[in-house]
Amino acid sequence: MWFFTQEEKEIQKVCRDFAQKELAPYAEKHDHDETFNLKAFRHMGDLGLLGITAHPDFGGAGLGATAATIVMEEFGKACAGSTLSYLAHSILCVNNLNNNGSQEQKQKYLPALCSGEKIGCMGMSEPEYGSDAVGMQTKAVKEGDSYSITGNKMWITNAQYADIVYLYTRTGPGKKELTSFIVEKGTPGFSVSKEIHKMGMRSSPTGELSFDKCKVPAANRVGAEGDSIVHMMKNLEMERITISGISLGIAQACLDQSVKYAGERKQFGKTLAHFQMIQKMIAEMYAETEAMRRLLYTVCYEYDHGHRSNTLASAVKLQLPKMATKIALDAIQLHGGYGYSREFPVERMMRDNKLNEIGAGTNEVMIMIIAKNLLNDALRH
């Protein structure tokens, strides 16, 4: 994009090279085996990417939504599953802690998270509370200088590998009385109770977290009791913008793969590139991908310059995953039988992207948010 800073352009190049060398060659195997590319993840820390938005005082890069989204796009082209794990660590855990933690908490936890020595995740969704995250029932009860936490968290990315959990709990009867805690691996009463097998994003580990009277020091509470509804909504805005970068990467990869295939595959004595129907598909895929790119990075730019909008973040999260799924399906159609097979990566890209229409708020929830905000604005006038 024309407004990328020199630093953002350098990050783009570093991430593109890294993705092609350390993610793309192993994406199919990790997808097939449902395994996590831990070696590549640790190397992201060496490159200074795991704390992309964290303050430099704690080992982070101190950058914004644009830089974080560039990483998501470049990694997403190569291996969306690894990118989802990157997002869960860098945005859901590190960014949350950087924005909301105390100086002592940040000093204690962020350096190891930013370096890749420790892996992070976030616990929000529950078995009975997905879209209605505010209705969560995991409870934290104050007991002297600690809290006793009981409940389960479902669909947790990085669950099996996480050393640090940024955990949302309920600390009162009111719907918005939510409080966050930092929970360390090995804390008595905390366990990973279930591994979840998925249709896509199979190289990103997902599990269920269980808390059975888990004792967490009061010093690990993030902010005051009841503060976390504000933390949650702010970080969701960042999450929805950056996860859309993965969809942009998938769309671009599908387009690149389709152009390459059309120039190589022959039917009726000539390459597919000579057929007008194929030309139409490729032209539309290009136009849609560029529309995605300009919407997404415009919102990133505005976010980084203080013009933040929950409505726009939701619009990005609604449109980009929907369009990427359509582009991935078009790529499969263009490849014909090969597209439906595992011989080409487009079928994996379609499976991976479908999660982006569900995670971080479903398409339907995004529609509700956008409509509510627009109609409330209209009624006020």
Residue 220: which CATH number? 2.40.110.10
Answer with the one of 118, 149, 164 that is the final residue of a domain: 118
User: Looking at the 3D structure of the chain, how many domains does it have?
Assistant: 3
- The answer to whether 242 and 74 are in contact (CB under 8 A) is no
* Beta bridge partner(s), residue 208: 194
The position carrying tokens 């990417």 is: 49
User: Cα–Cα distance between 59 and 117 in angstroms, integer?
Assistant: 12
Shared-domain flag, residues 181 and 299? no
Indicate the SS3 state at residue 265: coil
Q: Domain check: are 237 and 371 in the same one?
A: yes
User: At residue 182, what are phi and psi to the nearest 5 degrees?
Assistant: -100, 120
AA letter at 306: G
Pair (258, 289) in one structural domain: yes
* Closest listed residue to residue 63, CA positions, set 18, 10, 106: 10
Say yes or no: 209 and 300 in one domain: no
Please indicate, yes or no, if residue 106 is contained in any of the structural domains.
yes
In a domain, 1, yes or no: no
The confidence score (pLDDT) of residue 185 equals: 98
Do 126 and 110 lie in one domain? The reply is no
CB contact at 8 A, 242 and 68: yes
Judgement on whether residues 270 and 194 belong to the same structural domain of the protein = no
Long-range Cβ contact pairs of 343-351 (< 8 A, separation 24 or more): 344/257, 344/261, 345/27, 345/28, 345/253, 345/257, 346/254, 346/257, 346/258, 348/27, 348/28, 348/31, 348/200, 349/80, 349/250, 349/253, 349/254, 350/200, 350/325, 351/199, 351/200, 351/201, 351/202
β-strands 221-222, 120-123 pairing: unpaired
- Residue 40 forms part of a structural domain: yes
Residues 71 and 212 in one domain: no
In a domain, 243, yes or no: yes
Q: What is residue 144's DSSP assignment?
A: T
Residues 144 and 89 in one domain: no
Q: Report pLDDT for 180.
A: 98
Q: For the purposes of burial, counting CB atoms within 10 Å of the CB of 224, is it exposed (0-12), middle (13-18) or buried (19 or more)? A: exposed
Domain limits for position 97: 6-118
Q: Does 202 share its domain with 247?
A: no
CATH number at residue 291: 1.20.140.10
User: Which of these three, 83, 118, 153, is where a domain ends?
Assistant: 118
**pLDDT tens track of the chain, all 381 residues?**
889 999 999 999 999 999 999 999 999 999 999 999 999 999 999 999 999 999 999 999 999 999 999 999 999 999 999 999 999 999 999 999 999 999 999 999 999 999 999 999 999 999 999 999 999 999 999 999 999 999 999 999 999 999 999 999 999 998 889 999 999 999 999 999 999 999 999 999 999 999 999 999 999 999 999 999 999 999 999 999 999 999 999 999 999 999 999 999 999 999 999 999 999 999 999 999 999 999 999 999 999 999 999 999 999 999 999 999 999 999 999 999 999 999 999 999 999 999 999 999 999 999 999 999 999 988 887
Other Cβ atoms closer than 10 A to 359: 22
For residues 374 and 257, membership in a common domain is answered with yes
Beta-ladder partners of 119: none
Tokens 């409505």 map to which residue? Answer: 311
Q: Which of 131, 176, 171 is nearest to 151 (CA)?
A: 171
Q: Give residue 158's pLDDT.
A: 98
Where a domain ends, among 193, 226, 259? 226
243 contact partners, CB below 8 Å, separation of at least 6 = 72, 84, 87, 91, 317, 356, 359, 360
Q: Which of 239, 288, 347, 357 does the annotation list as catalytic?
A: 239
Catalytic residue list contains 73: no
| 69 lies in the same domain as 99 | yes
Per-residue model confidence (pLDDT) at position 377? 84
